[in-house]
Amino acid sequence: QSPTGTPLTTNRGFEVYEVTQSNVLGQFALSEQYTPSHFTGDVANKALERLTKQSDPFFLTVSFHNPHPPMTPANKHLEYYWNNRDQLALPRTTSLNNSAYFNIVGKIPDYGDSSKLQEWTALYYALIEEIDEEIGVLLQTLGDQVNNTLVIFTSDHGEMLGAHGKREKNTFYEESSKVPLILSWPGKIRPNTKVEEKVSHLDLFATILDYAGASHLDDSDGMSLRRFIEARPTNVDFDEDVVFAGE
């Protein structure tokens, strides 16, 4: 069911270019309690209700598929963004000119069309709000135990949303490769702490074990980020290095 009128799946070769979930855009056919986001959140919340009643420490991973194609949020979250889509910010550039990817993926004209990009962005933002709501429920269930819990929010990739004439991930442009990484533990991590250093998901396992007092179990290739979070002295010759590989 797609009341949005988004023509991206049928216009200018989209159907022959790639017929996959990447081109599915519109409104979820059922109400919000049947979305994949709610299903994941509901199962996680039931697990958290059980875990918070036990005395042993627990570790819970909640992996939401959204925001991700197919771009089909429920009306509850889509309505606001759809009605205000003409106010949504557009990428600074929608051109593949001077792009290292120009010869790899030819530009599809629809990604340079402002109105279509704003339709697409409205759907994407609505999917983000779905996740926000589900995470809010989980934090409410956690209750006072939030003061004794390390909460980490992150993502595996971003979304081009038409920037540089591209969609999805699979590129090293900032829109695709830069992701949120938020850590919270009242009493352990100061509010509004911001780490400026370049960090990686590779370091999360070591960071979790460090805060759990179990660094002796860490045999990963990462290093705890706690030294940056607490602004301790670091090895500048090592910690400031960033490796980027490409042609």
- Angstrom distance (rounded) from CA 165 to CA 94: 4
Average pLDDT, the chain: 85
pLDDT above 90 for 45: yes
Span of 4-8, 148-152, 211-215, 217-221 with lowest mean pLDDT: 4-8
Pair of tokens at residue 59: 């570790």
- For residue 214, what pLDDT is reported? 95
pLDDT above 70 for 141: yes
Residue in 201, 216, 154 with CA at minimum distance from that of residue 181: 154
- What is the rounded average pLDDT of the residues 215-237? 86
Long-range contacts of 242-245 (CB under 8 A, 24+ apart): 242/198, 244/172
- For residue 229, what pLDDT is reported? 95
What confidence tier does 201 reach under pLDDT thresholds 50, 70, 90?
very high
- For residue 13, what pLDDT is reported? 40
Q: Output helix, strand, coil percentages for the chain, rounded to the nearest 5.
A: 45, 5, 55
| Positions of E strands within the chain | 151-154, 181-184
Pair of tokens at residue 7: 């023509």
Residue in 196, 174, 170, 194 with CA at minimum distance from that of residue 183: 194
